[in-house]
């Protein structure tokens, strides 16, 4: 699934809110303790028993289908959560975050950070309530979700703290793994934050995908939708808007090693920009067994090879 690119002005607005939280917590060291953030914001956290299938959160808007009725009657809420496989949500009236207890522990941090942002970004309340037809529009809800995800990334990776470290090193899968450990977050969220950070002026793509080799194919593999996340940096989205996730996935499939886990190979891949010019990217892939990660970083624009005709006479 392709990420939504947010406007710089909205990012700055979100950054300011996150800066205030980190300032109020005396600029904490990684990993950020989310209990401290919740205490600061007086947010309650609860768990519920849900369904084991489905995506994290993205379906929060479905909750609003029953509107206020859900918020007022918890039994209806629980039924809705089960029905739509919602993994986490925020109930503004009660300042309460609910997490599906069947969600893998590692993903609780991201889900909690995301719900915290729905509280902090107060203009989300209307959309989460689903009060009007306007706020129910899918595009509006997608934007609200993208804002909460962006804010969660800023919060969980401590804003400039992550940016300084990320910009000091060469981008690589090893860097993502190391920073995921030190900040205590998932590989996918670390990849996301790295692409956002280094990719403002440099075209970069991060992909979380199934193993492309048929021998290690997962039962969850959907050939029409092979990437769980297709994260384009600002510069990539601006210059390579015609490059679709399937094209990148096919390029990865072209060099991947027939190995279940660990490094899956590196390759130099040519991608065309929107003007039709060729650019060389460095692709690096790694398998975590249940899922693979590929980092694609722009190297250089390919020089035009101009035909020089046949200057073959050595006596000239």
* Distance in Å, CB of 253 to Zn ion, minimum: 32
* Distance in Å, CB of 57 to Zn ion, minimum: 5
Which CB atom, from 91 or from 148, has the smaller least distance to Zn ion?
A: 148
Which CB atom, from 121 or from 256, has the smaller least distance to Zn ion?
A: 121
Residue 165, token pair as written in the block = 């470290």
Which CB atom, from 192 or from 281, has the smaller least distance to Zn ion?
A: 192
* Distance in Å, CB of 261 to Zn ion, minimum: 32
What gap in Å lies between CA 109 and CA 114, rounded to an integer?
8
Binding-residue pattern over the window 5 to 44 for Zn ion, x denoting contact by CB under 5 A = ----------------------------------------
* Shortest-Cβ-distance residue relative to Zn ion: 60
Which CB atom, from 129 or from 177, has the smaller least distance to Zn ion?
A: 129
Report the 10 Å Cβ neighbour count for 257. 12
Provide DSSP, 49-93: ---S-S-SSTTHHHHGGGTHHHHH-HHHHHHHHHHHT--EEEEGG
* Distance in Å, CB of 147 to Zn ion, minimum: 9
* Distance in Å, CB of 58 to Zn ion, minimum: 8
Contact set for Zn ion, span 168-227 (CB under 5 A): none
Angle subtended at Cα 23 by Cα 28 and Cα 175, rounded to the nearest 5 degrees: 45
b/e code 127-154 from CB counts within 10 Å (16+ = b) = bbbbeeeebeeeeebebbbebbbbbbbb
Task: Please report how the helices 8-24 and 105-120 are oriented relative to each other, as an axis angle in degrees rounded to 10.
Answer: 110
End-to-end CA distance of the chain: 59
Binding-residue pattern over the window 44 to 63 for Zn ion, x denoting contact by CB under 5 A = ----------------x---
Which CB atom, from 60 or from 98, has the smaller least distance to Zn ion?
A: 60
Helices (H), the chain: 8-24, 34-41, 60-63, 68-72, 74-84, 105-120, 124-129, 133-136, 138-156, 160-168, 173-183, 187-198, 234-239, 245-255
Q: Exposed, middle or buried, 83 (CB in 10 Å: 0-12/13-18/19+)?
A: middle
* Distance in Å, CB of 64 to Zn ion, minimum: 11
Rule CB under 5 A: is residue 117 a binding residue for Zn ion? no
Binding-residue pattern over the window 134 to 173 for Zn ion, x denoting contact by CB under 5 A = -----------x--x-------------------------
* Distance in Å, CB of 117 to Zn ion, minimum: 8
Q: Which positions lie near Zn ion, rule CB under 5 A?
A: 60, 145, 148
């Amino acid at each position: 699934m392709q990420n939504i690119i947010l406007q710089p002005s909205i990012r700055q607005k979100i950054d300011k809110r996150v800066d205030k939280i980190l300032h109020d917590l005396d600029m904490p060291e990684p990993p950020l303790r989310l209990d401290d953030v919740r205490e600061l914001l007086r947010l309650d956290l609860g768990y519920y028993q849900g369904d084991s299938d489905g995506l994290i959160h993205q379906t929060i808007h479905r909750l609003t289908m029953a509107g206020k009725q859900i918020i007022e009657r918890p039994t209806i809420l629980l039924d809705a959560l089960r029905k739509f496989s919602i993994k986490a949500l925020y109930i503004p009236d009660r300042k309460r975050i609910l997490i599906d207890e069947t969600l893998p522990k590692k993903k609780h941090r991201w889900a909690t950070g995301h719900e915290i942002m729905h509280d902090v970004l107060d203009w989300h309340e209307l959309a989460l309530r689903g009060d009007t037809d306007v706020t129910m529009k899918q595009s509006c809800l997608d934007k609200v979700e993208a804002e909460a995800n962006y804010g969660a990334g800023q919060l969980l990776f401590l804003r400039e703290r992550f940016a300084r470290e990320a910009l000091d090193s060469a981008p690589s899968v090893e860097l993502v793994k190391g920073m995921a450990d030190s900040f205590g977050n998932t590989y996918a969220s670390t990849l996301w934050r790295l692409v956002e950070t280094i990719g403002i002026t440099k075209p970069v793509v991060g992909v979380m995908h199934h193993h492309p080799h048929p021998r290690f194919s997962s039962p969850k593999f959907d050939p029409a939708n092979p990437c769980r996340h297709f994260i384009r940096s600002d510069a990539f989205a601006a210059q390579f808007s015609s490059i679709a996730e399937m094209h990148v996935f096919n390029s990865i499939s072209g060099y991947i090693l027939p190995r279940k886990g660990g490094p899956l190979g590196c390759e130099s891949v040519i991608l065309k920009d929107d003007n039709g010019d060729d650019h060389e990217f460095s692709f690096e892939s790694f398998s975590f067994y249940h899922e693979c990660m590929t980092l694609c970083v722009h190297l250089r624009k390919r020089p035009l090879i101009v035909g020089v005709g046949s200057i073959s006479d050595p006596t000239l």
